[in-house]
Amino acid sequence: MIGQVIKQRAKSGDQQSGVVEMRAELARKIAAHVQAAGEQTTAIPGLTLYRRTAPTPCYPATYEPSLNVFVQGRKRITLGGTTYLCDESTFLLSSVDVPVVSQIVAASEEVPLLSLLLKLDMTVVREILNQEEFHALEGSSQPRGIAIGKTTVDLLKPCSRLLDLLDTPGDIPFLRNLIQREIVYRLLRGPQGERLRAIATLGDQSHRTCRARANAHQRARCRECGVRSRV
């Protein structure tokens, strides 16, 4: 029994060490491609890289269906009265077009906020959900516009390989879809999979209701921050 506990702790420690290493590797790659503060669109459709070097006040934004992986810095996001704190150990999953209020709370020249954003093709999400192994999974979570999860080695590895394609542009047309499908698969197999599954099967009316509620909360939050919403 004691031996099993020791093995489990060792395995957990190895997994955490692997996450830290993968996170550092991803941070180096993002920093290499975005050497000045701002956002950088890439040759991979739907992939944008970010470097922010200073905190910001609250500002309104709209999130499309996307995966946002943070590897350095901290950002606060408010949706529908709920505030989420994103740091270097988290990813943000947005499954519908929703208005939010964002604020970068930790970023500097020495330690910039570094992140990547990958737009999700919900058609691909639904296609993967049609696979037999996902039919047996019954999701019970209520759909929300966004969700926060902890990054894992299994998720960070394909993200890192996707960035590697930027160094070999000729491979992008052949490999990007395969890697993006793996990323979607990892999300669906993870703790936030039910959330993505629920949103992927939302009807138009539910989508509009979610967005309308988020719009109202965004305007209220922007007034609190002293920022006028441009939505």
Question: pLDDT at position 139, please?
Answer: 53
122 in a structural domain: yes
Neighbours of 160 (CB within 10 A): 19
Residue closest to 83 by CA, chosen among 228, 230, 220, 231 = 220
The rounded Cα 106 to chain-centroid distance in angstroms is 18
- DSSP state for residue 91 in the 8-state scheme: E
230 in a structural domain: no
Question: pLDDT at position 30, please?
Answer: 98
12 in a structural domain: yes
CATH number of the domain that residue 66 is part of: 2.60.120.10
Domain that holds residue 93: 2-225
Q: Identify the residue with better confidence: 57 or 4.
A: 57
Q: Which of 57-66, 93-102, 136-145 has the lowest mean pLDDT?
A: 136-145
Q: Identify the residue with better confidence: 6 or 186.
A: 186
54 in a structural domain: yes
Q: What is the pLDDT of residues 32-84, one digit of tens each?
A: 999 999 999 999 999 999 999 999 999 999 888 899 999 999 999 998 888 99
Q: What angle (nearest 5°) sits at the alpha carbon of residue 37, between those of residues 32 and 42? A: 55
231 in a structural domain: no
Residue labelled with tokens 């500097």: 108
| Residue 148 near residue 109 (C-beta atoms within 8 A) | no
Q: Identify the residue with better confidence: 156 or 147.
A: 156
Q: What is the pLDDT of residues 163-187, one digit of tens each?
A: 999 999 999 999 999 999 999 999 9
Q: How far apart are CA 65 and CA 67, in angstroms?
A: 7
* Count of the separate structural domains present in the chain: 1
Q: What is the pLDDT of residues 121-132, one digit of tens each?
A: 888 998 998 886
Q: Is the pLDDT of residue 144 over 80?
A: no
90 in a structural domain: yes
178 in a structural domain: yes
127 in a structural domain: yes
The rounded Cα 90 to chain-centroid distance in angstroms is 8
Which one-letter amino acid corresponds to residue 5? V
Question: pLDDT at position 221, please?
Answer: 52
Q: What is the pLDDT of residues 197-206, one digit of tens each?
A: 877 776 444 4
pLDDT band with cut points at 50, 70 and 90 for residue 229: very low
Question: pLDDT at position 230, please?
Answer: 41
Q: Which of 10-14, 20-24, 158-162, 192-196 has the lowest mean pLDDT?
A: 10-14
